[in-house]
Amino acid sequence: MQCRDVVLWDVAPTRGVHTCLTVVVSDDSVDGEFRRTEPPADTIICVDCGGTAHLITPPPEDGAWYVGDITAYRCGDCRDRWDLVLE
Ligand SMILES: [Zn+2]
C-alpha cells in the first residue's frame, strides 16, 4: 500500500481536487473503471420502428457518467426498451 497524489474529477472540470488516496500500486491499474464519458443523448432512434426513444435513466447525482454505465431508453411508439452501455 502506498499513498499517491491523484486528481479526482469533480462536477466542474475547473474544480478538480488533489487528494491523497491509499492505493494498491501492484494492481493491474484501475484505468477504465472510472473513466468519464459524455452524457448519453436524451433521445435515440428506435431500431425497431424508427420512432423516438427517450432516456429513462435519471442522471447521476453528481452528473458524472462513466464508461460502462447502463442507460435505458423507452420508445414512445412501440414501447420497446433499449439498454445502452456507455463507452
Ligand atoms: Zn419503437
Number of structural domains the chain divides into: 1
| Contact call for residues 70 and 44 (beta carbons, < 8 A) | no
| 66 alpha carbon – ligand 1 mean position (Å) | 26
Q: pLDDT for 7-20, tens place per residue?
A: 444 444 454 555 55
Query: 72 with 83: CB under 8 angstroms?
Result: yes
Tens-digit pLDDT profile for residues 47-75? 999 999 999 999 999 999 999 999 999 99
Most confident of 9-13, 19-23, 41-45: 41-45
Range of the domain at 35: 2-85
Q: In angstroms, what is the span from residue 42 Cα to ligand 1's centroid?
A: 15
Distance 73 CA to ligand 1 centre (A): 10
Joined together, the cell numbers standing for residue 76 give 414512445
Percentage of residues of the chain with pLDDT beyond 90? 60
Q: Which residues contact 81 (CB under 8 A, 6 or more apart)?
A: 56, 72, 73, 74, 75
DSSP per-residue string spanning 44-65: EE-TTTS-EEEE-SPPPTT--E
